[in-house]
Chain A
Amino acid sequence: MELPVLNANADNTAKGGCSSHSCGSTDDQLSHLPEHIRVKVHNHPCYSEQAHHYFARMHVAVAPACNIQCHYCNRKYDCSNESRPGVVSEVLTPEQAVKKVMAVAAHIPQMTVLGIAGPGDPLANPERTFATFRELSEKAPDIKLCVSTNGLALPESVEELSKHNIDHVTITINCVDPDIGARIYPWIFWKNKRIMGREAAAILIEQQQKGLEMLTARGILVKVNSVMIPGVNDQHLVEVSKVVKAKGAFLHNVMPLIAEPEHGTFYGLMGQPSPSHEELQKLQDACAGDMNMMRHCRQCRADAVGLLGEDRGQEFTLDKIESMDIDYAAAMVKRAEVHAQIARELEEKEKARAAVAEVKAKLVGIDGARPAADTQPVLMAVATKGGGVINEHFGHASEFLIYEASSNGVRFIGHRKTTPYCEGGDTCGDGESALDRTIRELAGCEAVLCSKVGYEPWGPLEAAGIQPNGEHAMEPIEEAVAAVYEEMRAAGKLTPKLSQSTRKVA
């Protein structure tokens, strides 16, 4: 029996109307968006799990100033080995930023999106941010522009934002209740004064909500980011999700708090815990009932360059771009060719998937009278380089995609980063601790699917309850996950859903 592949909207699959690949991808956050929004975001790597394997994005750090303080941010911190929002190595002038963007766009023609995200708040640096947007709209009209903000200065910026080629704005909204806000934001700078505590949070929340309404009223797409802070706003984010959806936000991205003591943030030093993978997933699922959820955010640095999860910023430092001579007119032609080629490739994939799905639907029609028993969902990790297939060695993966298989089908849950267990043949000096870390990151998963997995990690993985599986190399991910789930069912490894399960969870 074949399993359908679920989109976030389970109703579709229950009726069998949207079986596996007819919806085309694992992008549960995209597949049930209205068509006019899908058209706008289909080639935006941050909004589509599939697009991010093909299209690249970059951030330019032109906005150093911030008008608020968040307890998860430390403005002193700057390290090129760090990958998290708000962190950046080199602040650029608008002129330098434009030059860098055009250099990257010419060298990485897959780059479709330029974002300004910091390291401070872009709208607290309106002159620098808008000078960059203005010039790019003019010189590189084939690049989509987007901006993310804490929202404090948003209402006064909406007019200017709507003038440029900006159709996406991200607002970080961690709460709609000032009492909760007072535990996240120690102060804001507002009307020439520093305002502390609850009063500060109340003003910030009011500005965020007002800005959200103004943007959606103008047809500008708004994504909402929220940082999940256990014990502070975790329960509350379900309410946030409802409120922002009602006001027209098209996507909600709940991200885990990053709070290591060595980052020197308030939360880091106070020992504020980050959410576990399971807690994050539970909250995302709770929010998903009301909102399109984003599952594959990689929480990039404010100067990230390249595909999500990679950073090629070092190839485009100031001294390097100084010596680059860019013919943008020629680059635009090349870029258009590359984009068209990717579009064709995606379309062909889509067709192939639809054809497979059709055949399957017929098979299910024959076999469908005998529904599978309702069994517990299982999490599986997948090693992939992209393209929707299992094509990465276990030891080379720097991240794993997590899928959930259940009697209802297969759905994409998120990703987990790790250090590659073994970067190559015999240089595995640090291999053992990297393996331990990977096993810890994969907690809760019962299988790991990869193109190849070595003898060495096999035993420790099995001992940790994670079955290594290299039998589905080069197969489409969802089908392989569904097949492994069926194998587990056949082997009697799945517990019925209603029984008291002793299955381990993340």
Chain B
Amino acid sequence: MALEIIETCVNCYACEPLCPNQAIYQAKPHFLIDPDKCTECAGDFDDAQCASICPIEGAIIDERGVALNLPGSLTGISPEMLAKYQAAVEATYQAALENKTR
């Protein structure tokens, strides 16, 4: 029974000092959880500490691959809004490219 940090992690360090088992460690390109040490906080806390402070939805998953923080659960931004965001980022990027080549 262990949690996992995936590539959407933004390396904010918030989870690392909270782990009661010191299972979280800094690594490249992002923080990782030692599966041998992780207990999902059973016996220590009601909620897994890393997932309770993580600001990034979906960055921490359980053994079944299910995100502990589902899309929209933390930011209030729905998946549809997120798609709009990605489109805006892409548009900004394209505009910057065009400016450069002009």
Task: Decide if A127 is an interface residue (CB 8 Å cutoff).
Answer: yes
A261 partner residues in chain B, CB cutoff 8 A: 84-85, 88
- Selected from A65, A71, A76, the residue in CB contact (under 8 A) with B14 is A65
Say yes or no for A193: interface residue by CB 8 A criterion. Answer: yes
B53 within 8 A of A: yes
Docked CA distance A71–B18 (Å): 24
Partner of A194, one of B10, B47, B85: B47
Q: How large is the interface on B (under 10, 10 to 19, 20 to 34, 35 or more residues)?
A: 20 to 34
* Residue B77 at the chain A interface, CB threshold 8 Å: yes
Interface centre among A67, A69, A189 (most CB of B within 10 A): A189
CB distance from B9 to the nearest CB of A (A): 10
The answer to whether A287 has its CB under 8 Å from any CB of chain B is no
**Is B77's CB under 8 angstroms from A269's CB?**
yes
Given A65-B12, A193-B52, A269-B84, answer yes or no on A186-B76 (Cβ-Cβ < 8 Å). yes
In the assembled complex, the Cα of A102 lies from the Cα of B12 at a distance in Å of 25
Q: How far is the CA of A237 from the CA of B85 in the complex (A)?
A: 30
The distance from the CB of A172 to the nearest CB of chain B, in whole angstroms, is 17
B76 touches A71 (CB 8 A): yes
A268 to B86: give the CA distance in the assembly, Å.
12
- Chain A residues with Cβ below 8 Å from B99 are 430
> Which A residues are in CB contact (< 8 Å) with B18?
192
Is A339 an interface residue when CB atoms closer than 8 A count as contact? Answer: no
Separation of A381 and B91 alpha carbons in the complex (Å): 33
Tell whether A13 is near chain B: CB-to-CB under 8 Å.
Answer: no
A192→B92 contact, CB < 8 A = no
Residues of B within 8 A of A65 (CB): 12-14, 17, 53
We find that the number of chain A residues with CB closer than 8 angstroms to chain B is: 29
Q: Considering only CB atoms, which chain A residue lies closest to B53 in the complex?
A: A189
- Tell whether A220 is near chain B: CB-to-CB under 8 Å: no
B75 at the A interface (CB under 8 A): yes
How far, in whole Å, are A268 and B92 apart by their CA atoms in the complex?
14
Q: Is the CB of B10 within 8 A of A76?
A: yes
A75 contacts B56, C-beta separation under 8 Å:
yes
B81 touches A (CB below 8 Å): yes
CA distance A76 to B8 in the complex (A): 9
Chain A residues near B77: list those with CB within 8 A: 264, 266, 269
* Cβ contacts under 8 Å, A193 to chain B: 46-47, 52
Kindly state whether residue A343 has any CB partner on chain B within 8 Å.
no
Q: Which residue of B lies closest to A125 (CB)?
A: B13
Considering the complex, which residues of chain B in the window 44-82 have a beta carbon less than 8 Å from any beta carbon of chain A? 45-47, 49, 52-53, 55-56, 74-77, 81-82
CA distance A151 to B47 in the complex (A): 24
Please tell me if B39 contacts chain A, counting CB pairs below 8 Å: no
Q: Which residues of B contact A98 (CB under 8 A)?
A: none
For B42, list chain A residues within 8 Å (CB): none
Distance between B7 CB and nearest chain A CB, rounded to angstroms: 12
In the assembled complex, which residues on chain A have CB atoms less than 8 Å from the CB atom of B52?
189, 192-194
* Residues of chain A lying within 8 A (CB to CB) of residue B45: 192
Could you say which residues of chain A place their CB within 8 Å of the CB of B1?
A: none
Contact among A127, A186, A268, A269 with B17 in the assembled complex (CB-CB below 8 Å): A127
* Min distance, Cβ B66 to any Cβ of chain A, angstroms: 17
Bound-complex Cα distance A430 to B95 (A): 14
A64 touches B84 (CB 8 A): no
Contacts of B74 in A (CB 8 A): 69, 186-187
Q: Which residue of A lies closest to B95 (CB)?
A: A262
A94 on the B face (CB < 8 A): no
CA distance A324 to B19 in the complex (A): 37
| B75 and A266 contacting across the interface, CB-CB below 8 Å | yes
Which residue of the partner chain, among A69, A127, A430, contacts B75 with CB atoms under 8 Å? A69
Q: Inside 8 A of B11's CB, which chain A residues have their CB?
A: 64, 91
Q: Within 8 Å CB of B88, what residues of A?
A: 261-262, 264
- Asked if A67 contacts B46 (CB within 8 A), the reply is no
A-chain residues with CB within 8 Å of residue B85 when the two chains form the complex? 261-262, 264, 268-269
Asked whether any CB of chain B lies closer than 8 Å to the CB of A120, the reply is yes
Chain B: which residue is nearest A186 at the CB level? B76
A464 interfacial by beta-carbon distance below 8 Å:
no
Q: List 16 A-B contacts (CB under 8 A).
A: A64-B11, A64-B13, A65-B12, A65-B14, A65-B17, A66-B14, A69-B75, A75-B55, A76-B56, A120-B13, A125-B13, A189-B14, A192-B52, A262-B88, A262-B92, A269-B82
8 closest A-B pairs by CB = A65-B14, A189-B53, A194-B52, A264-B85, A262-B88, A261-B88, A75-B55, A64-B13
Binding site for A on B (CB under 8 A): 10-14, 17-18, 45-47, 49, 52-53, 55-56, 74-77, 81-82, 84-85, 88-89, 91-92, 99, 102
Apart from A67-B53, A189-B14, A269-B85, list 11 A-B contacts with CB within 8 A. Answer: A69-B55, A91-B11, A186-B76, A193-B47, A193-B52, A194-B53, A261-B84, A262-B85, A264-B77, A264-B89, A266-B77
